[in-house]
Structure 1
């Protein structure tokens, strides 16, 4: 607390911490605005792969330029008070709470769940079109407020495999002609993997529980072996539109080629939500 990065960004306090980095709320002393700064753990300062992971996340997040993705203001390297030089990324400071906090109180009403899932599908559609797979779309990486939904943490994001299902080309980093490198642990990723996890997320929001034993599902999905999961349980939520139930099952299909594209999922979800707001009058 009180540490200044580059004599400009004054750290106020930690707001998130993982195994490789810490996110701080901070004040930009030059412009007088609050921001968020992700800083690599000093213990990993000499780890080339860890440093590259921070760079990759900054480039991918900045490249997406989606209103539901945190804005990146700056990326670089800075000395800490002890002399250690670490990579950092300056993001917009987000309002709201992680979706995990909302789900701790039970399932969401289906219109709210659809709004959140449709926003996530929008982000995935843009990412997939630009050759990027998120690879970590979970409730902890969705920030929710009364007016907004943000998809965060592209730390595991990677350049998508060039496949018939995606039609995507690897992302090109602005300022040079190099392709954005794939994440070494998720290089096998395909857009359909994100569609699957979106289906799991929507199921969790609609029911308040995971469709599978959490530890088992996380391990299998992370390993890219979704086909080994049990069939998707049937949704039995009262008042749930049939098309929404069918869409969840389609997103969670075992065979990647049987899952819809993220853009089609987004359109279906927004259409379902609009049909509730503006019902089509019956004709006698």
Structure 2
């Protein structure tokens, strides 16, 4: 391991003043640039570079490529260099602006983050990773220590020592965030960053990493084969995304761009739900609490939705047949009023609720990527559950399972499933009206 002390001078220019943070493979120093007379941040890699000229030339090439990555959530790179340490090892270092902020690791140490805050950070980190991946750059060390929380939002450090996709792997990385395929020497690939993003999400929401291993030796000994742990207490679309990011098979992980889109959709839906619940009246309190619980916990962890009948409820009956495509009868309203109507479902008939389900499935946007065969299958299952006397409850339960299956297969977007589940809740509540 390389070592530096205050007072060390790197490249006859950067005077190290004091360490600011330390991660699994690097230390960030407050330093003074004697050439330009300004205070900077210098990140020094704590594992020694190999001495081969080819390896060092590749490191320089990668740093130059990363320096051209201009993204608002990636910290600008001023300089890259290599320095001989006190023990004679060669260490790479990256020079960056010194920003006012707190490492995300310190924020996590204070306790878990609310899921919307964690998802918001995750969106921005996923988008900067996607920008790097589009340029063929793989970060390889996405950790809570490498995310700086600044007044302008979270910033990702360390793209200056990223690797080109397809290059041989090395031992750079922080063990709790290391993707399992790296233990087998797989070539560098964007999926390793997505795995680390999943670890980061898990750590933000729970306050701990999904697995306890902290060294490469412990990782080698663990060799896990069981499915990744699943988050609880969050919308199931967020839990499912995190679990897919942590998949052992890199081919089953989403791209960084897809992860950003899924988190964005979850945040938008969560905002609409919170706004709608705030506007909902006391008469819909029981259903409001049930809907809130459904959004906060994965399916299967809660009992059935219970509604409170009201004298003004409109009688309804199960239709004798539900066509596979029905024009929407739900009035056009603002997002907040629309969600209030979702909570106050006693004013809906079963027909209106079913129309709303079809309209959601057919509407461009959150469900726009759903394949035609999947949409037709979902409609047929819904129709069958409503036209078979005595089978309504089991039929709707079967449809929920089908939605979950299609999501696991990657054929149904998690945010689309969220919307359809809300519509199924409306159908269930409408059917239970007197």
TM range (shorter): 0.7 to 0.9
For the pair shown, the structure with the greater C-alpha radius of gyration is: 2
Counterpart check, 1:134 vs 2:139: yes
Instruction: Work out which of the residue numbers 227, 232, 237 in structure 2 matches 1:236.
Output: 232
The higher relative CO (CA closer than 8 Å, separation ≥ 6) is in 1
Note the 1:233-272 alignment, pairs <5 A.
233-237=229-233, 240-272=234-266
Give, in angstroms, the shift of residue 107 of structure 1.
0.7
Residue of structure 2 equivalent to 1:281: 336
Residue of structure 2 equivalent to 1:36: 41
Q: Per the alignment, do residues 122 and 254 of structure 1 end up closer, same or farther by CA in structure 2, a change over 3 Å counting?
A: same
Partner of 1:64: helix, strand, or coil? coil
Q: Per the alignment, do residues 76 and 208 of structure 1 end up closer, same or farther by CA in structure 2, a change over 3 Å counting?
A: closer
**Structure showing the higher strand proportion among its residues:** 1
Distance 2:49 2:246 in 1: 39
Give, in angstroms, the shift of residue 250 of structure 1.
2.0
Instruction: Work out which of the residue numbers 89, 92, 97 in structure 1 matches 2:94.
Output: 89
Q: In the TM superposition, what whole-angstrom CA distance separates every residue of 1:105-129 from its partner, at most 9, and x where no partner exists? A: 2210111101111111012111211
Q: Per the alignment, do residues 249 and 6 of structure 1 end up closer, same or farther by CA in structure 2, a change over 3 Å counting?
A: closer
Aligned residues: 259
Residue of structure 1 equivalent to 2:121: 116
Residue of structure 2 equivalent to 1:177: none
Q: Per the alignment, do residues 205 and 46 of structure 1 end up closer, same or farther by CA in structure 2, a change over 3 Å counting?
A: closer
Does the CA contact (< 8 Å) of 1:131 and 1:160 recur in 2? yes
TM-score by structure 1 length? Answer: 0.72
Note the 1:1-284 alignment, pairs <5 A.
1=6, 8-16=13-21, 23-38=28-43, 47-48=51-52, 51=56, 55=60, 58-76=63-81, 88-154=93-159, 157-161=162-166, 182-185=168-171, 188-215=187-214, 219-220=218-219, 228-237=224-233, 240-277=234-271, 280-283=335-338, 284=341
**Structure showing the higher helix proportion among its residues:** 2
Give, in angstroms, the shift of residue 150 of structure 1.
1.6
Q: Per the alignment, do residues 63 and 218 of structure 1 end up closer, same or farther by CA in structure 2, a change over 3 Å counting?
A: farther
Structure 2 residue runs without a partner (length 5+): 1-5, 172-181, 276-334, 342-434
Distance 2:212 2:265 in 1: 31
Q: In the TM superposition, what whole-angstrom CA distance separates every residue of 1:220-256 from its partner, at most 9, and x where no partner exists? A: 4x89x97x3421223221xx22321221122222322
Distance 2:207 2:24 in 1: 27
Distance 1:245 1:19 in 2: 26
